[in-house]
Amino acid sequence: MTIFEASEKYNIPVKILQEYESWGLCGEVKKVMGSWQYDDSDIERLSTIMTLHDIGFTNAEVERYMKLLLQGTSGEEERLKMLETKRNGTLDEIHFKERQLDRLDYLRFEMKSQNKNKTKRRNVK
């Protein structure tokens, strides 16, 4: 499967495929008549790359992770550490957003309370 066929079939941007090729991760890929030919194991790795991008890994982090993946079990500990670090960062972001929501809700509550008090004072007059 060529780069364009893989891009179309699996909805992976050509840019990502080119990046993948530039990292030298295409050990299983054969070059035929000037174009890369992707096999099922390449598509699985590309799926992992897309997932890593989706969860916020930088290009450098994706490249490091994928090189560790190709090392097999010897790279598992470092890959797990990378995932834990990303997870903890995501949890920190979630907690920060929760605090923002609490503050927004407080301001909304205050505004509604003030409006109710104004309405009561008008009705009393």
- Gap between the Cα atoms of 10 and 44, Å rounded: 11
Q: Which residues of 91-107 are buried (b: 16+ CB within 10 A; e: fewer)?
A: eeeeeeeeeeeeeeeee
Cα angle 39, 41, 47; round to 5: 105
At residue 34, the pLDDT reads: 62
At residue 109, the pLDDT reads: 95
At residue 120, the pLDDT reads: 73
At residue 119, the pLDDT reads: 76
Q: What string of pLDDT tens digits covers the 125 residues of the chain?
A: 788 888 888 888 888 788 777 777 665 455 665 666 777 887 888 888 889 989 999 989 998 999 899 888 999 999 999 999 999 999 999 999 999 999 999 999 999 999 887 777 777 66
* Interval 26-39: pLDDT, tens: 654 556 656 667 77
- Gap between the Cα atoms of 86 and 112, Å rounded: 39
